[in-house]
Structure 1
Amino acid sequence: MRSAKASYSLHILVVAILATGCSNMVTGAPVPANGLRQDVADSDFEIVGSTDSEIDKTARNALTDINDYWSQTYAELYEDDFEPLTGGYYSIDPDDFDPDDYPDDIGCLDGDPENVANNAFYCFPQSDGGGDNIVYDRTLLESLAADYGRFLPALVMAHEFAHAIQAREPPPSELSIVYETQADCYAGAWTGWVAEDNAEHFNIRAPELDGVVRGYLLLRDEPGESVDDERAHGSYFDRVSAFQEGFDSGAQACRDNYDDERLFTLAEFSPNDGVTGNVPYDEAVTVSERTLEVFWETAFDEVGQQSFVAPELVPFSGDAPDCGGD
């Protein structure tokens, strides 16, 4: 998600990822998928504030593999070398935060650990020279790993890292939904690369992805929200299809297919008076008489029931009764 500070948030529910305040929790019990290789030593990738916990080990392993992927893929897409993030990576427990363990100028955190509570985000480069960093709440990732396996936190990192790619090569759009679904697509492309046995620390088989995708993408915008909303991430279908496109077709499809012309299923509800219909009452009665009888005669014949005898339709002509006090 893109904020006024040009950061993208991964507002994550305790059951999915990507967006504080832009979706609701959906409970469930998918089968966890681990995704971690057992015969490879853990990475020593530098994450400021990280611990020896399993979740920080997972994050280090994931970021190592993600950097490996983009060091290869970025040059293929943009004919230039990938420049590593200059602002670093930060693991934070909002309930156990010691400012002495961190620099004062972590981009988009503003020194307040609550800004990353239940969240993970990439901070775009700032006008003062800060940013270009990833920050995550490790307690949130621990919850996701417990419910969905340790590949899901890796997917969180892949989505956020995709925003770092956009900081270097932005899509031709200002719409939040384009940025977010393109990041989903890039995360899918990385996952496809992992599934092809290219990653050092992670591996996952395609059949295992169902549970992962449920956990990763049960976070979606509520039905009725606008595609133009500055916090829009996309409907469930928008996000799943973006991830699948990247997984199936690779990062080039993500680069080429995300702009203002892309079709999304997210759609704002019309005002109530726009969906009440405008067929004259007498005409509606006539159409009902002609179509309902034919439909039910056919339906009864198909299921072998006795002949359908149509009831008489009697249009209401009196005063409408009260409904709910109105």
Structure 2
Amino acid sequence: MRRRLLAIAAVFTLTATACSSEIRGELRSEGDIAGLPITHFESGLKAGAPKPDLVVENVSQTEDDRLAVAAIADVSAFWSEKFPRHFGTEFQPVSKLLSYDSTSDEINVCGATTADVAMNAFYCPPEDLVAWDRGTLLPLLRERFGSMAVVTVLGHEFGHAVQYRLGDKAGINQQTSTIVKEQQADCFTGAYFRWIAEGRSQYFHVSTSEGLNQVMASLFFIRDSPGQSAAEHGAHGTAFDRTYAFQLGFETDAAKCAAIDQADVDSRITERPFDPNDAGMGDIPVNDQTLGMLQQSLDESFAGAGVQGPKIVNQGGSCPNGVSTPPASYCEDSNTVTIDMAALAALGQPIDREAELSGQESSGGGLGDFAAFAEVVSRYAQGIQVGLNVPVDNGNAGLRTACLVGAWTAAIDHDGALLRPSPGDLDEAIAELLQPRSLIAADVNGHPAVNGFARIEALRLGYFDGSGACSAEYP
């Protein structure tokens, strides 16, 4: 986040309904995921899945290659079915497949050497080749995020092979920007995962709760670093951008993905360089001063609600006479958001990207300043809703709150704001939303919505469509 000297006001409108209650600590499981039921089981390769009949150069007998080859066979079956339906021609299989170990193999393919392709998977159009690093990338993905992360990355690279076959039908030519190609490929991956989630895959099954959470986490992992421009060659997008495209494909179909063009991307992409005035390069400390600025920003932003917003007080993060959700809690009896400043400051430490990429635990454990601020915003939003007699302890409350955090983020995102989001801040919110105990997407009792897919979608809905959409979608 970055700070400015002036403030803006944005009007938030909410709708009142009746109240209910729940036991503290449970995940909320109401609703569905894009029309599919919420399911819980271990996602991955099906027991008894067929052995793929594919020729893969340099393939090994490792678990990662077994997953990768099954993923290629599976996504090939998906496109063999969908390509004629959406695009009117038969799908031609990819010509070459290559597995390599960047820690031991000497690679010279598609003009790239071992150093170029380490920790990578890619599609090479001139050779019509899909390749993957089984030495570093796939094991890291599988160990950190589960086997469906491997399927996600291979499904994405196969999406580029689909683009190569579509050409003009997907608007792809030599002038097409990298970010458009990457958004299409992420969207194609989402359409493929919908097919798996519907139970149509011979090889894999994925739950719409923990399984899709693995996918969202892997997309977060392979995001671009904050401050990169979407106009740069090689830009893949922020986690916010990449999950948007994936969810678009999951909720619609591959034809919609092929329609993604530069105008669409320009209208919504969040990847941008740091502002020259952003001295902290996206990070400010979480302390009394910045929490005071947050209080002012929230009071002005929610002024149109017509109720008294809660005061943010540094009193340990727990409510003496009510339910506590530290490090920030909304206390209805005093209309305050009580915070544990030390815990929020630790949460607000920058994400250790070097540790993340090496598969190590971050030394500080921080998720970034915006993750900390957004947790406080979520509790403030609870207070506003209580003032309007909106229920804050039912199945929709957590998602509505995440949506309101997104709406507030967009409302302060212009010149003159007292606090203004920096590049990477929305990704920090996604990092928090993917935590098992997400406070941003939790009701007043700390019950988070069960699914990372739904949490991220709620944040994005508020960001793009405003607070009115929050009360309409999550009444």
Query: Does TM-score exceed 0.5, indicating one fold?
Result: yes
Match of 1:197 in 2: 199
1:270 maps to amino acid: D
Contact residue 223 and residue 238 of structure 2 kept, 8 A: yes
**Contact 1:33/1:212 (8 A) holds in 2:** no
One-letter amino acid matched to 2:82: T
Shift of 1:227: 1.9
Give 1:91-106 correspondences, 5 Å limit: 91-97=99-105, 106=109
Report the CA distance between 1:233 and its aligned residue.
1.0
Maintained 8 Å contact 1:32/1:147: no
Structure 2 residue identity aligned to 1:186? F
- Give the one of 183, 188, 211 matched to 1:186: 188
Once the two structures are superposed, the pairs formed by residues 170-319 of structure 1 within 5 Å of their partners are: 170=167, 171-172=170-171, 174-207=176-209, 208-262=211-265, 263=267, 264-272=269-277
Query: How far does residue 33 in structure 1 lie from its aligned partner after superposition?
Result: 5.5
Separation in structure 1 between the aligned mates of residue 197 and residue 215 of structure 2, nearest angstrom: 13
1:90 Cα deviation (Å)?
A: 0.5
User: In the alignment, is the contact (CA less than 8 A) between 1:32 and 1:148 conserved in 2?
Assistant: no
Structure possessing the higher radius of gyration over alpha carbons: 1
Give 1:216 shift. 2.9
TM-score (norm 1): 0.67
Q: Is the 8 A contact 2:99 2:132 kept in 1?
A: yes
Equivalents in 2 of 1:247, 1:225: separation in Å?
26
Aligned equivalents of 1:225, 1:164: Cα separation in 2:
25
* Deviation by residue 1:112-168 (Cα, 9 ceiling, x = unmatched): 32232111110112xxxxx21011110220221122211111111100000011112
Give ranges in structure 2 of 5+ residues lacking alignment: 1-39, 279-295, 312-331, 337-475
> What's the counterpart of residue 74 of structure 2?
65
Q: Tell me the equivalent position of 1:152.
A: 149
* 2:44 is aligned with 1:42: no
Relative distance call for 1:158 and 1:300 in structure 2 (3 A) is: closer
CA distance in 2, matches of 1:163, 1:266: 21
SS of corresponding position for 2:204: coil
Once residues 156 and 32 of structure 1 are traced to their aligned partners in structure 2, the CA distance between those partners, rounded to angstroms, is 21
Query: In 2, Cα distance between the equivalents of 1:72 and 1:51?
Result: 29
Task: Calculate the TM-score normalised by the size of structure 2.
Answer: 0.47
Q: Do the aligned partners of 1:33 and 1:150 also contact (CA within 8 Å) in 2?
A: no
User: How far apart, CA to CA, are the structure 2 residues paired with 1:227 and 1:142?
Assistant: 29
Summarize the Cα distance change of 1:223–1:116 in structure 2 as closer, same or farther, 3 Å threshold.
closer
Q: Distance in 2 between matches of 1:299 and 1:39?
A: 57
> Where does residue 320 of structure 2 map in the other structure?
none
SS of the aligned residue for 1:135 comes to strand
Contact 1:46 1:60 in 2 (8 A): no
Change in Cα spacing, 1:304 to 1:108, as seen in structure 2 (3 Å) is closer
How much does 1:300 deviate?
A: 8.6
Question: Residues 59 and 157 of structure 1 are in contact (CA less than 8 Å); yes or no, is this contact kept in structure 2?
Answer: yes
- C-alpha separation between the residues in 2 aligned to 1:222 and 1:117? 18
Q: How far off its partner does 1:46 sit?
A: 1.6
Q: Percent of pairs identical after alignment? A: 31
Q: RMSD over aligned Cα, in angstroms?
A: 3.1
d(CA) in 2 for partners of 1:148, 1:56:
16
Q: Aligned residue for 1:9?
A: none
Contact 2:146-2:214 at 8 Å conserved across structures: no
Aligned residues between the structures: 245
Letter of the 2:74 partner, please give it.
D
Residue type of the alignment partner of 2:133: D
Q: Is the 8 A contact 2:156 2:186 kept in 1?
A: yes
Report deviation, 1:299: 6.0
**In structure 2, the residue corresponding to 1:260 is in which secondary structure?**
helix
Whole-angstrom distance in 2 between the partners of 1:223 and 1:43? 39
Structure 1 unaligned blocks of 5 or more:
1-30, 126-130, 274-290, 306-326
Please state whether the residue corresponding to 1:242 is helix, strand or coil: helix
Q: Matches of 1:178 and 1:304 in 2, distance apart?
A: 46
Change (3 A) 1:180 1:304: closer
